[in-house]
């Protein structure tokens, strides 16, 4: 029987050849070789013992299979000479970033007024992100080093991504948002190259914010992570150590729902040393989010956002956005079925809220448990207070 190591080596050969064929435009032949490579990796996965990491083999098999699929679905587009990747199909070179992964040269259209509540957080963000850009001289005069990286953390769906975008808009910075999972390429060296590319791009802008969203997908504790993730984190650390906001007009933000799983080295001075907690919305904030979500929908006079806010304790902003969509769906559905056209009423909201559990409670339980394990209760104090 062929050993797993030999199978993997053969698979590598096929996949390399496939890639060359793909690059030279021979997509059907490339697709066949990708499939062969995927099959060999799968065999390696199936027969592997302790001599190699089985999960990597399986991931590679899946990855190459997906690549073969995408070549099939896009062969028409390829033959017409276009290289644009369409929604869902992923036919680009995995080893470098495409514009789908990076949103470049874009100033977001979400500002602080679009974010309900979180007034304290907004002020904190102003101090940590906006003023260092807009009042650079003052910071320099008082010898304050501005522009440490900032890690936004907190329960899911409560506005971390929104807050990062809004911060960029408020200070007129270009927003370079990186889907962190997309920089993780298992092809040797590619991940580091991707990180470097991101920082290089940012340095070319006049003023930029780099945002690593869901950073836990790569920057896990290096003791627990795989090789590629270690390399990504090392490169990230190296690049961040080289950032001087005053000189570069560059700020690095990251967000995570799982701050405890992030490599502590990333939190050292000069890196993501500032932690900003984005909590679930309180009563006022929930009312504000309802206002924002309902401002362009027809609602009955009896609908009282304060009452709605009272009914949604422990619900996230994202929960509230869904509640509003689902509530609107009720009269919409009726109208589509030929019913009378009517406004969204209090009863519609009640129906939807009753069916839906708040998403925050379970996050806190899991978060506290995980943090107690790492012994970092002090670092993430906000998760324990209240
Ligand atoms: N404070 C808020 N104000 C208005 N909308 C909110 C707020 N928090 C969450 N939302 C809604 O929830 C969605 C998800 O928020 P997001 O910023 O992606 O959360 P996170 O990044 O923390 O998971 C947003 O697109 C928005 O519709
Ligand atoms: Mg998010």
Q: What is the CATH number of the domain that holds 293?
A: 1.10.8.60
Predicted pLDDT at 73: 57
**Atom of ligand 1 lying closest to residue 117 CA:** 1
pLDDT band at 334 (very low <50, low <70, confident <90, very high): very high
Ligand 1 pocket mutation, candidates 120, 156, 159, criterion most atoms within 8 A of CB:
159
Ligand 1 neighbours by CB, cut-off 6 Å: 115-118, 156-162, 255, 281, 285, 289, 292, 317-318, 321
Are 64 and 184 members of one domain?
Answer: no
Q: Given a cut of 70, is residue 175 above it in pLDDT? A: yes
Element (H, E) at 210: strand 208-213
Contact between residue 148 and residue 269 where contact means Cβ atoms under 8 Å apart: yes
* Distance (Å) from CA 46 to ligand 2 centroid: 36
Predicted pLDDT at 360: 92
Point out the least confidently predicted range of 181-195, 259-273, 339-353: 181-195
How big is the chain by its Cα radius of gyration, in Å?
24
* Distance (Å) from CA 160 to ligand 2 centroid: 6
Are 245 and 287 members of one domain?
Answer: no
Q: What is the pLDDT of residues 283-296, one digit of tens each?
A: 999 999 999 999 99
Which comes out higher in pLDDT, residue 253 or 89?
Answer: 253
Count: domains in the chain: 3
Give me the domain span that covers residue 203: 102-277
Which comes out higher in pLDDT, residue 343 or 176?
Answer: 343
For 316, phi then psi, to 5°, come to -85, 170
CA angle 364, 365, 369 (to 5 degrees): 110
- The Cα 233–Cα 273 span in angstroms is 15
| Residue 49 belongs to a domain | yes
End-to-end CA distance of the chain: 61
**Atom of ligand 1 lying closest to residue 288 CA:** 3
pTM of the model: 0.72
Ligand number with the minimum distance to the CA of 118: 1
How much of the chain exceeds pLDDT 90, in percent?
Answer: 33
- In this structure, the residue with its CA closest to atom 16 of ligand 1 is 159
Are 269 and 302 members of one domain?
Answer: no
Q: Is 24 helix (H, G, I), strand (E, B) or coil?
A: coil
Residue 130 DSSP code: I
Predicted pLDDT at 225: 60
- The Cα 203–Cα 119 span in angstroms is 31
What would you measure as the largest C-alpha separation in the chain, in angstroms?
75
């Amino acid at each position: 029987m062929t050993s797993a190591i030999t199978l993997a080596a053969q698979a590598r050969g096929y996949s390399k050849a496939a890639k060359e064929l793909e690059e030279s435009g021979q997509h059907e032949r490339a697709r066949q070789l990708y499939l062969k490579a995927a099959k060999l990796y799968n065999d390696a996965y199936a027969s592997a013992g302790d001599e190699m990491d089985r999960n990597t083999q399986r991931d590679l098999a899946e990855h190459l299979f997906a690549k073969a699929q995408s070549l099939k679905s896009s062969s028409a587009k390829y033959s017409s000479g276009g290289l644009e990747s369409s929604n869902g199909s992923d036919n680009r070179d995995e080893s470098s970033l495409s514009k789908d992964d990076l949103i470049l040269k874009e100033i977001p259209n979400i500002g602080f007024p679009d974010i309900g509540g979180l007034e304290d957080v907004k002020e904190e963000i102003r101090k940590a992100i906006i003023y260092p850009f807009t009042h650079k001289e003052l910071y320099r005069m008082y010898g304050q080093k501005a522009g440490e990286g900032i890690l936004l953390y907190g329960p899911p769906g409560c506005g971390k991504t929104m807050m990062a975008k809004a911060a960029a808009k408020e200070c007129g910075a270009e927003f370079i948002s990186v889907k962190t999972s997309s920089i993780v390429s298992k092809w040797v060296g590619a991940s580091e190259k991707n990180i470097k590319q991101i920082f290089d791009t940012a340095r070319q802008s006049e003023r930029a914010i780099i945002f690593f969203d869901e950073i836990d997908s790569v920057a896990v504790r290096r003791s627990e992570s795989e090789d590629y993730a270690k390399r990504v984190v090392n490169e990230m650390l190296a690049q961040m150590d080289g950032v001087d906001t005053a000189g570069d007009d560059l700020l690095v933000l990251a967000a995570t729902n799982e701050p405890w799983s992030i490599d502590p080295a990333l939190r050292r001075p000069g890196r993501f040393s500032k932690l900003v907690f984005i909590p679930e919305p309180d009563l006022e904030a929930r009312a504000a989010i309802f206002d924002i979500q309902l401002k362009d929908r027809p609602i009955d006079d009896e609908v009282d956002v304060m009452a709605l806010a009272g009914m949604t304790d422990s619900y996230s902003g994202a929960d509230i956005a869904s509640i509003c969509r689902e509530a609107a769906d009720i009269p919409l559905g009726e109208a589509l079925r030929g019913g009378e056209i009517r406004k969204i009423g209090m009863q519609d909201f009640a129906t939807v809220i009753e069916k839906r559990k708040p998403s925050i409670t379970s996050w806190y339980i899991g978060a506290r448990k995980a943090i107690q394990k790492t012994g970092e209760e002090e670092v993430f104090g906000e998760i324990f207070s209240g």
